[in-house]
Chains A and B, each alone.
Chain A
Amino acid sequence: MRLRWSFRRLAWMLALLAGLLAPLAVGNPYYLQVLTLGLIWAIGVYGLNIVLGFTGQLSLGHAGFFGIGAYTVGLLTLRVGLSFWVALLAAVVLTMIAGWLVGWICLRTRGHAFAIFTMAVGVIINLLIDKWDSLTNGQVGLVNIPAPNAIGPVSFDSAQARYYLVLVFLVLAAYATWAILRSPIGRAMHAVRQSEELAAAIGIPVMRTKRLAFVLSTVFAGVAGALFAGYLGYLGPDVTGVDITFDMLLYLLVGGMGTVAGPLVGALLVGALTQVLQAFQQYQMLIFGPVLVILIRFFPGGLAGIPAGIRRRRERGPNPPPLAAEPIPAAREEV
């Protein structure tokens, strides 16, 4: 047990070291951009991980919240002239409020209806950004979004500096995921995923737990969107499309739902594969579509879930498999 724990810590240390050294090793600015974007997506996927991996609710409006964060930063810096940092804070607050409101309404529904409802919310956000020309510039999008302002001597004009900025937020996202996972809140979330009825029966406020998970997920998405805007300097309505949500879902599934490493592993690995298959651009989903189907069938825990899967199989050993649980009448949720 102790050995495995320290091995895991070592792996994280090495990953962090690799993250710190990467810009020195990656000479090509294009690859650095690909890497930075991969980290930004990973931050968004950490959000999806909390709502889907922890609490088991499939939220298909995730890219919408990413878009809210991105456009908040884009519009506030361009039109109002606020500094990136103030705009970032505004993006966090705004996605939090939007997430709270949407969560408050959406979470009255469960399971399938929740997925459909959140998808509708995502489409509404996408359509609004796409059609509201006078505010968002519609299809044209926003260009020349200023880079983050310098903090004292630290300027973010260079791509390397912005990479490190993204890295800081990524580390925060991974840390927050880990801290939540190990806290009573994380336990409550995982309990809700396994059985809402049982969770309610033992006194876990199911609704409040799901709402918290949903708001957290939207905040992660909003931060990722804000960084996206500040990093790239331009934005279009495409980033809020439902296909972006599906991409993030793919990253999460490949990496591993409900784990701390999953979102990062998935975003980087799929991002790298996408680069390798670049000649294949339009047809990548010919491969990734079936990959998604195969993963969910045979490896629902993703890559990061494989060790746990093996451990579980070993544990099961000589004991007979547990009895199938009988259905329990649906627990009523508080409103």
Chain B
Amino acid sequence: MLSVEALGKSFGGLQAVQDVTFSVEAGSITAIIGPNGAGKSTLFNLIAGAVRPTSGRIRLNGEDVTGLPAHEMAARGVARTFQSTHLFQEFTVIDNVMAACQLRGGAHLWDALLRTDKLRREAGALREQAMRALAFVEVAHLADRRAGTIPQEAQKRVALAMGIATQPKLVLLDEIAGGLNPEETDRMMALIRRLVDHGMTVCFVEHKLRMVMQLADQVVVIHHGRTIAEGTPAQVSRDPAVIEAYLGGGGIAAGG
């Protein structure tokens, strides 16, 4: 459903991503790995439309979506979460998720000022939708807490709920398990499998190799902004180029 062809992005003179090519099957889980600074987060930013690529193509279900801004990508069913815990700290948990799913709403300024039925109906629907997403990630009980005050695992789950509340087709998870302990990571992995069961396609960036090996159908390895390997976890882990990248020139994979 997603295909990335020879994608490149340079910031000033720095080539963050130079030649990344891979494709993702609908309903699959793809892990994107690589040493620190390999360009993984930039790649997600490119796919999600946060950053405009300087070269290459991105196709979504055949449609050329290269260079579309983030809210257009979101409208096409691409959602992402962020590397660090990054929520609207001052909002309540439910407001965070409602903010994330309101783009479907058609209520305008007049509806807001006149407090029309349409607005009320939509507000109700929005709240329900957000609560469903929160229930899915099992943090519904924290709905009215301020986002900055809940524990880290819960924040990660809220971030995930924000990603899936719009019922996207493709979810990009950027180190969703970063900073979680092994049990928490297991619970997060179970959650990601449930996303796929519910018809979503998942791409994730992760340093935790166990998670990559156990969860991914396909692994894409990026080094110095280029794809150096693509295949099943087993294939990739035997690939000499990958071993070279991790142990040789590229330093050491953090986390583990």
Mark A residues whose CB is within 8 Å of B. 176, 179-180, 182-188, 190-191, 194-195, 197-206, 212, 312, 315-317, 319-323, 325-326, 328-329, 331-334
Contacts and interface: CB of A to CB of B under 8 A. Distances in A.
A201 B70 contact: yes
Contacts of B79: 202
Interface residues of B, number: 57
Interface stretch (B22-30, B84-92, B241-249): B84-92
Contact of B148 (A202, A206, A322): A322
A182 B122 CA distance: 13
Contacts, number: 136
Interface of B: 41-42, 45, 48-52, 69-72, 74-75, 79-80, 82-91, 95, 98-100, 102-103, 105, 107-109, 111-115, 119, 122-123, 126, 145-152, 155, 162, 166, 179
A10 to B, nearest CB: 21
B162 A312 contact: no
A272 B83 CA distance: 49
Nearest to A201: B70
A16 B105 CA distance: 34
Nearest to B105: A184
Contacts of B123: 183-184
B231 to A, nearest CB: 29
Given A191-B91, A319-B150, 12 more contacts: A179-B113, A184-B107, A187-B95, A187-B98, A200-B50, A203-B166, A212-B109, A321-B148, A322-B148, A326-B83, A328-B83, A332-B70
A332 B50 contact: yes
Contact of B85 (A186, A194, A323): A323
Given A183-B107, A332-B51, A203 B146 contact: no
B49 to A, nearest CB: 8
Contacts of B179: 323
A204 B74 CA distance: 9
Given A191-B88, A322-B89, A326-B84, A180 B74 contact: no
Contacts of A202: 74, 79, 99-100, 103, 162, 166
Nearest to B145: A315
Contact of A329 (B42, B86, B108, B150): B42
B146 A312 contact: yes
Given A200-B69, A205-B71, A183 B89 contact: no
A235 B29 CA distance: 67
A315 B90 CA distance: 12
A199 B99 CA distance: 8
A113 B98 CA distance: 31
Contact of B71 (A191, A194, A200, A321): A200
Contact of B50 (A186, A191, A197): A197
Nearest to B172: A201
Contact of A332 (B69, B85, B115): B69
Contacts of A197: 50
Contact of A188 (B102, B111, B149, B162): B102
Contacts of A320: 151
Which of A201, A204, A212, A316 gathers the greatest number of chain B CB atoms within 10 Å?
Answer: A201
Given A187-B95, A203-B74, A329 B113 contact: no
A334 B69 contact: yes
Given A204-B71, A204-B99, A332-B50, A194 B149 contact: no
Which of B41, B100, B123, B179 gathers the greatest number of chain A CB atoms within 10 Å?
Answer: B100
A320 B85 CA distance: 14
B48 A201 contact: yes
Which of B42, B69, B108 gathers the greatest number of chain A CB atoms within 10 Å?
Answer: B69
Closest A-B pairs by Cβ, 9 of them: A203-B74, A183-B112, A203-B103, A326-B84, A202-B100, A200-B70, A334-B69, A184-B102, A194-B88
6 contacts: A194-B89, A197-B50, A321-B148, A322-B148, A329-B45, A331-B50
A198 B102 CA distance: 14
A321 B75 CA distance: 34
Contact of A184 (B72, B122, B155): B122
B102 to A, nearest CB: 4
A329 B51 contact: yes
Contacts of B95: 187
B152 A323 contact: yes
